[in-house]
């Protein structure tokens, strides 16, 4: 799943460069989508004795491009895989707010300095000396573009113990 995620990211970058980015949104149950996507990463995470722990609410719908959702989740999980310490958990949460929902990915590993929390979403910015040395600093930039295209925001925070990436999107409201 990690290699598939990297291929998807490469495809997304090609789409953006060639302006094939369509952004066609559909309504889907994000709970079911997460339950379909997360198991794809289990064996990769197990190779580093890592686990994905999820706290997902049921029956929450979103209007988003389904492929873009998979690409965004895949990029966040791939980064968590490469930049987390071995023998740790990566937490995925879906938080139901009054007008928005948040998708949160938390990893334990190399912490992001405060001055880099916004910079990591800029094009071609790579702040880590650890992790996969093939990264080119475009993944979180593309992730930000895809989230913004869906009408959402993404932010990163870091504590003394973990990094937290939070995507906030408006709830789907029936017409």
Q: pLDDT tens across 5-56, in order?
A: 666 666 656 655 544 555 688 888 888 999 999 999 999 999 999 999 988 8
Q: How many CA atoms lie within 13 A of 21 on its CB side?
A: 16
pLDDT band at 115 (very low <50, low <70, confident <90, very high): very high
Identify the pLDDT of residue 49: 95
pLDDT band at 113 (very low <50, low <70, confident <90, very high): very high
Which carries the bigger pLDDT value, residue 146 or residue 127? Answer: 146
Could you give the CA distance from residue 33 to residue 72 in angstroms, rounded to a whole number? 12
Could you give the CA distance from residue 56 to residue 29 in angstroms, rounded to a whole number? 11
- Residue 165, pLDDT > 90, answer yes
Identify the pLDDT of residue 127: 78
CB count, 10 Å around CB of 39? 11
Identify the pLDDT of residue 18: 46
- Residue 132, pLDDT > 60, answer no
pLDDT in tens, 54-105: 888 767 888 899 999 999 999 999 999 999 999 999 999 999 888 899 999 9
Q: How many CA atoms lie within 13 A of 20 on its CB side?
A: 7
């Amino acid at each position: 799943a990690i290699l598939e995620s990297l291929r998807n990211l490469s495809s997304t970058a090609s789409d953006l460069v060639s302006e094939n980015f369509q952004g066609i949104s559909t309504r889907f149950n994000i709970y079911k989508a997460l339950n379909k996507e997360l198991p794809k990463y289990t064996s990769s995470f197990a190779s580093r004795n890592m686990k994905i722990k999820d706290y997902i609410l049921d029956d929450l719908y979103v209007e988003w491009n389904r492929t873009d959702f998979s690409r965004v989740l895949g990029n966040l999980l791939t980064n968590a895989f490469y930049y987390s310490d071995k023998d740790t958990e990566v937490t995925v949460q879906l938080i139901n707010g009054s007008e928005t929902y948040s998708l949160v990915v938390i990893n334990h590993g190399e912490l992001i300095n405060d001055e880099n929390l916004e910079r990591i979403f800029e094009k071609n910015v790579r702040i880590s000396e650890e992790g996969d040395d093939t990264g080119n600093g475009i993944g979180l930039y593309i992730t930000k573009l895809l989230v913004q295209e869906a009408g959402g925001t993404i932010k990163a925070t870091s504590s003394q113990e973990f990094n937290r990436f939070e995507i906030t999107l408006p709830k789907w409201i029936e017409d």
